[in-house]
Structure 1
């Protein structure tokens, strides 16, 4: 495993601040000079690479393999978040029904896991409360509605082992989550919602602040921060990419984009996405793609990254700019 250093403003990433440059280094978001965290579903791993390096085994910065259990199949989501006790951790969600917290950068142990069920597509950590929220897109054996948010709250905010389920919210087709330091945003088939966290420790709950409901099914997928504008988030749905103003949930179209599973944009405007293979290869089934496609600030394709040097064709589901930086 490569030695990792944190960006000087890494703790501010959760509240939407731009990534800072390391002292004396090239700005972290210039021309691919940032790290990308991907979920890969063939080997069922989380993998971390520098964008502008070839994704060879020797350039792999970090990886974590999910337990070999059916509940951990199809890793859908991963994100780094900072905790008071363990430092940086990696939150993971698997379509088989599990979510968890990995002790990134230490022993990579699974500090906590739970089974919300219903095909978890996103998981988020609310540091100020020690709360974890999972977004599940489908019914499970425990619930009979088509998608839901599950809230886990602790008795000790610094001890993930004390987390327990305290709330479940109906949310059709729940796919995306993002905590910006003040509010939690959730995205699903019909709805974009903004929540505040009330209470503390085991009494913590999500309380709706505002929501936007589409008249036709939107099929929202991922939520991520927009490094070009700290007032915005990025989302995808209805065959397009969008920015959303966090203050009022107003949406602005970025560009048409069918079948995109995740979309990220760096501070200099460079962006990348994972687009479903059944869109890029008509007639073939595939909710994944073997490549992450990158674009310049004008939206023109530039380069792509895959696992060509690993001896197998990867299946990426999501990719995002990492909150930590490889040395």
Structure 2
């Protein structure tokens, strides 16, 4: 929704039209349907950030200082007041990107106060679709070839009393996102993370990690559980993403640690770096990684952080200072006139078409 001076159209067209090239990915990285991609160089990729202090999504480059002049993209949601006088687009929690045949690149967003939507990314940045699944939405995913969209809500609501659930929206016309209709709800306690790997939809919550098959099409589309791991103790799962350096794996954060799971064998292993309070964790193709750790204890959003922290391929703090990072491998906003309250940080472009 922001026009960034004379360069905005060029930059946004670049992200939409060139896809991989926009984040420095060689064409060979795109081989194979359903495989995600990220930048080969830890210094050149773009990062999408949900920032709750100003309730916005930003995209910045890893290798540049995060100033207004270097801002690649910004989106601020509309205001949608509910019957209680609450703006249901408050507390943007999730941002990710998917490539579709009908619209090209779309951006998926979810807000903790109840709304979720799909943005016409890099075109006019308007909402192509939005809905209110209720229950503190934390994640959103889209299955391009079916047009199905899924939202993970972490709590109960006035409409759904389950302590967390998935809401499935299916289209009457795959090429028209405005036809998405709610067709299914699935109980999933404290649902926080979603990832579609081209075959299965993976879900992460308080007590379990699971995967689902998508059956049917159009309004008959449904999620059917294919496998789940139920933990003996609550893990309070939070972030779920692919490992871009090896997409045979997913990476997720839980209480006190980051874990890695092999998609075929479902074997879960320890991971470095690890820590508590990780709201999102991403590993790029080079093996470098970054996370957002909840540290804003004195802020209105104590689960957020004023900076993103970066690590090298060994899991050690990246002290290279790339793009203005300090000696602790941290980057925050510079010259904005306020301290950021980041909730999630993701690699800005993926391709599952």
Compute the TM-score of the two structures, normalised by the length of structure 1. 0.92
2:337 maps to 1:311: yes
Q: Secondary structure at 1:67's aligned position in 2? A: coil
CA distance in 2 between partners of 1:282 and 1:190 (Å): 29
Structure 2 CA distance for partners of 1:84 and 1:285, relative to 1, 3 Å: closer
Map 1:10-25 → 2, pairs under 5 A: 15-19=34-38
- Report if aligned partners of 1:277, 1:285 keep a CA contact under 8 Å in 2: no
Tell me the equivalent position of 1:57.
68
CA distance in 1 between partners of 2:184 and 2:303 (Å): 30
- Report if aligned partners of 2:40, 2:286 keep a CA contact under 8 Å in 1: yes
Tell me the equivalent position of 2:78.
67
- Report if aligned partners of 1:187, 1:221 keep a CA contact under 8 Å in 2: yes
- Report if aligned partners of 1:35, 1:324 keep a CA contact under 8 Å in 2: no
Tell me the equivalent position of 1:187.
204
Deviations 1:58-89 (A, max 9, x none): 11111110113310000000001111111101
Structure 2 CA distance for partners of 1:126 and 1:191, relative to 1, 3 Å: same
CA distance in 2 between partners of 1:301 and 1:225 (Å): 21
2:22 maps to 1:6: no
Provide the aligned length of Structure 1 versus Structure 2. 315
Tell me the equivalent position of 1:261.
279
Q: Secondary structure at 2:335's aligned position in 1? A: helix
CA distance in 2 between partners of 1:81 and 1:18 (Å): 11
The runs of at least 4 consecutive aligned structure 1 residues that moved more than 2 Å come to 8-19, 281-285
Unaligned runs of 5+ in 1: 20-27
Q: 2:117 aligns with which of 93, 100, 104?
A: 100
Tell me the equivalent position of 1:198.
215
- Report if aligned partners of 1:93, 1:121 keep a CA contact under 8 Å in 2: yes
CA distance in 1 between partners of 2:120 and 2:137 (Å): 20
Compute the TM-score of the two structures, normalised by the length of structure 2. 0.85
Alpha-carbon shift at residue 199 of structure 1 (Å): 0.3
- Report if aligned partners of 2:30, 2:37 keep a CA contact under 8 Å in 1: no
Tell me the equivalent position of 2:177.
160
Tell me the equivalent position of 1:132.
149
Q: CA RMSD in A?
A: 2.0
2:77 maps to 1:35: no
Deviates more, 1:284-293 or 1:220-229: 284-293
Tell me the equivalent position of 2:3.
none
CA distance in 1 between partners of 2:72 and 2:31 (Å): 22
CA distance in 2 between partners of 1:143 and 1:9 (Å): 45
Structure 2 CA distance for partners of 1:44 and 1:38, relative to 1, 3 Å: same
Deviates more, 1:147-156 or 1:240-249: 240-249
CA distance in 2 between partners of 1:161 and 1:86 (Å): 12
Q: 1:297 aligns with which of 309, 313, 319?
A: 313
- Report if aligned partners of 1:138, 1:147 keep a CA contact under 8 Å in 2: yes
CA distance in 2 between partners of 1:158 and 1:123 (Å): 19
Higher share in strand: 1
2:302 maps to 1:286: yes
Q: Secondary structure at 1:310's aligned position in 2? A: coil
- Report if aligned partners of 1:277, 1:287 keep a CA contact under 8 Å in 2: yes
Deviations 1:296-320 (A, max 9, x none): 1122222222113211011100001
